[in-house]
Structure 1
Amino acid sequence: MIFWINIIAIPTWLCLKHHGQRARGFIFSDTAIKTALMVKGIFKLPLRELKGFLNTVFTLMNVPLKSPIHTYINLRSA
């Protein structure tokens, strides 16, 4: 399996704008959530294991990113 991360996608991983609601703003962008859900579907991983898998892939690729935790993915998957 080959993983490829575009250099343009790295700055868009974190969400820099507020969503307009009263609560705390989003930490991860929609791109990060969609990517995590895509990897979850491909490897058939539970949400709790997905974070560790993505963080390991990012470490091996030497990419300065972190995976969203399972609660962020679950809440924003809709």
Structure 2
Amino acid sequence: MIEAALMVKGILKLPVRELEGFLNSVLTLMNVPLKFSTYTRSSKRSKNVKVKYRLLSRGVFAHVFIDDTGLKVYG
């Protein structure tokens, strides 16, 4: 979970506190009875975890909007 969260953090360029809230919202929308760890624990563990991911080239973008009705993808 920490590795996946760090990938999301790197791709969306979110601070750790915002990442915690974002992932808790996504888990709530998916009806998964889990909570993401606190930002202090995530911050401490992120120092020891090496995450490798490749960003896609600057081609076609997909816009993702999340509102209270769920996840919708446009484009």
TM range (shorter): 0.5 to 0.7
Match of 1:25 in 2: none
Match among 43, 54, 58 for residue 12 of structure 2: 43
SS of match in other structure, 1:45: coil
Gaps of 5+ in 1: 1-31
* Alignment RMSD (CA, Å): 0.9
What residue is the counterpart of 1:53 in the other structure? 22
For the residues of structure 2 that align with 1:36 and 1:48, how far apart are their CA atoms? 12
Name the aligned partner's letter for residue 34 of structure 2.
L
Give me the identity figure in percent: 64
Separation (CA, whole Å) in 2 of partners of 1:33 and 1:72: 10
Q: Hey, which of these two has a bigger chunk of strand by percent?
A: 2
Q: Distance in 1 between matches of 2:41 and 2:16?
A: 10
Which sections of structure 2, spanning at least 5 residues, go unmatched?
49-75
Moved beyond 4 Å, runs of 4+? none
Residue 57 of structure 2 is matched in structure 1 by: none
Where is the helix percentage greater, Structure 1 or Structure 2?
A: 1
Bigger Rg, which one: 2
In the aligned structure 1, how far is the partner of 2:27 from the partner of 2:21?
10
Query: Paired residues, what number?
Result: 47
User: Who is 2:41 aligned against?
Assistant: 72
